[in-house]
Amino acid sequence: MAGGSFDETFFAISWPTGEFAGMGLEGQIKLGRRNELAAIKDIPERKARYDQLVANAYDWSRALNAGTVFEVDDVIDPADTRKWIVMGLDSSPPVIPRAGKKHAWIDTW
């Protein structure tokens, strides 16, 4: 994906169906809103509030939202994926030839 950071990549793109969130959204709601949900004693009401929070989280994590705050460079049509990959590979700097061994020592572990 982004190699752990959006700051070190050559480019970051997404399809419109992409989702950007710190973890699975259902788990995020269960953990992050645990106290709020536990305070609702009526089970159907708690489930309805949980469903509403999950729906809001899915709406917020859409790739189009990530594109508007510059977390990704572009939200692309899936048909353009190959073009973007080739463009990214062409824009990467050449590999510096290695002089000597890859590792100066052998790890015996």
Rounded CA-CA distance 17/66 in Å is 11
Q: State the pLDDT confidence band at 21, using cuts at 50, 70 and 90.
A: confident
Q: Do 45 and 92 touch, CB atoms closer than 8 A?
A: no
Q: Summarize pLDDT for 37-94 with one digit per residue, the tens.
A: 999 999 999 999 999 999 998 888 888 887 777 678 889 999 999 999 999 888 888 8
| Cα distance between residue 61 and residue 10, in whole Å | 22
d(CA 55, CA 36): 16
pLDDT at 8: 65
pTM for this predicted structure = 0.60
Predicted pLDDT of residue 63? 86
What pLDDT is stored for residue 2 in this prediction? 53
d(CA 109, CA 103): 14
Question: Is it the case that residue 3 has pLDDT exceeding 70?
Answer: no
**What is the Cβ-side half-sphere exposure of residue 41, based on CA atoms within 13 angstroms?**
0
Query: Residue 7 pLDDT > 70, yes or no?
Result: no
Q: Which residues contact 21 (CB under 8 A, 6 or more apart)?
A: 28, 57, 61
